[in-house]
Homo-oligomer: A and B are copies of this chain.
Amino acid sequence: MSSEEMTPEEAAKMLPAGAALGWGLVKPPQRGPKREMSIDQIVAKAIEIADQDGLAAVSMNRIASALGFTAMSLYRYIPSKDDLLILMQDAVCDIPLPPERPRHEWRESMREYVLGSVAIFRRHPWYGDMPILGIPITPNHLRMVEWGLQPLRDMPLDDFEKMSIVLLLSGYARNYGMLQRDIDRAVQAGSSEEEFSGINYSAALRTLVKPEPYPNLYPIVMSGVYSGENEAENTVGDDLEFGLERMLDGIEQFLNRKISGGANR
C-alpha cells in the first residue's frame, strides 16, 4: 500500500542476511586486515561438499577445514548457517536464460523452463532437501521466476493467472526434480550390489500389499511397476514428459477458452 521510495540499504535490513548478501547489499569492510577468504569461495566450497556428500555433510567445520581455516572464521563472512543455505540455494540458480522464442513456441519455452529447473535438482541433489522458507527473494532465484514468466508475456492473462501458472510449473519441476534425484541415487546404490538387499523394497511390498485394503495398488505392485522395476517396458516413457504434457494441455485449453472469450468455468 505504501509507495514510498526505499534505499537498497533500507531494503537490506528487511531481508534475511543471506538474501541481503545475495543482492550484494552488504558492503565489504574498509578497515582491518585483508580478508583471506570470500563469500563466493565459502559458498562454492559448501556446494562442492553438498554435491559430494549431501546437505547433512555441510557443517561450518567441514567447510572451514576444507578451506584451511577454523569454523568460527566463517562467521566473519556469513552471520549464520541459515544464511549460508540461502546463498547456496541462490548460487545454484545462477544459470543463463535461453534466448527468447516467438510467442507461438510458448510450449517449447515452458518445456525449456521446466527442464532447466529440473536440471538444478539433478546437478545438485541436495537442492530438493533444502527447506522452502517462502517465496523466492534472492536475485538468481527470482531470475528463475522471470524465466517461467517469459513464455506468458504476450498471453491474455492477468498477473494472478500468470503467477498461478508459474507456480504450477515450478512446483512440477521441483517434484519431478526430486523424483529424478531419488532415481539417480537408487541407480548409484543399485549399481554396486545392494540393489537387491536394502534399497529395493519391491520384494517386501509384494508380500505386504494385499488385494484386501489395496485393491487398486495390488496389481501395480505385483507387476513391478510400482517400484519401478521393468522400466524397459514403460509405456509412458518419461514420467516428466508425461506429466508436463498433461499440464501444458490443460494450460493450452485454458488459454483457448480465454481467447475465444467464453467464461472459463
Q: Using a CB–CB distance below 8 Å, which chain A residues touch chain B?
A: 1-2, 5-8, 10-12, 14-15, 23, 128-129, 131-132, 134-135, 137, 139, 142-143, 145-146, 149-150, 152-153, 158-165, 167-168, 171-172, 174-176, 178-179, 182, 186, 197-198, 201, 203-209, 213-217, 219-220, 223, 225-229, 233-236, 239, 242-243, 245-251, 253-254
Query: Is B171 in contact with A6, judged by CB distance below 8 angstroms?
Result: no
A22 to chain B: closest CB distance in Å?
10
C-alpha gap A253/B250 in the complex (Å): 8
Stoichiometry (number of copies): 2
Query: Is A227 in contact with B135, judged by CB distance below 8 angstroms?
Result: yes
- Look across to chain B and name the residue whose beta carbon is closest to the beta carbon of A253: B249
A-B contact pairs, 28 of them (CB 8 A): A2-B203, A6-B206, A11-B207, A11-B208, A14-B197, A14-B198, A15-B204, A23-B208, A132-B182, A134-B186, A135-B182, A137-B204, A142-B209, A146-B213, A146-B217, A149-B216, A159-B220, A159-B226, A160-B234, A160-B236, A163-B225, A164-B239, A168-B243, A168-B246, A172-B172, A246-B253, A249-B249, A249-B253
A233: which B residues are within 8 A, CB to CB? 160
Given contacts A129-B131, A135-B227, A153-B216, contact A201 B14 (CB under 8 A): yes
Query: Is B161 in contact with A235, judged by CB distance below 8 angstroms?
Result: yes
| Given pairs A11-B203, A14-B198, 13 additional interface contacts (CB within 8 A) | A8-B207, A10-B207, A15-B204, A134-B201, A143-B214, A146-B217, A149-B217, A164-B236, A164-B243, A167-B243, A168-B172, A246-B254, A249-B253
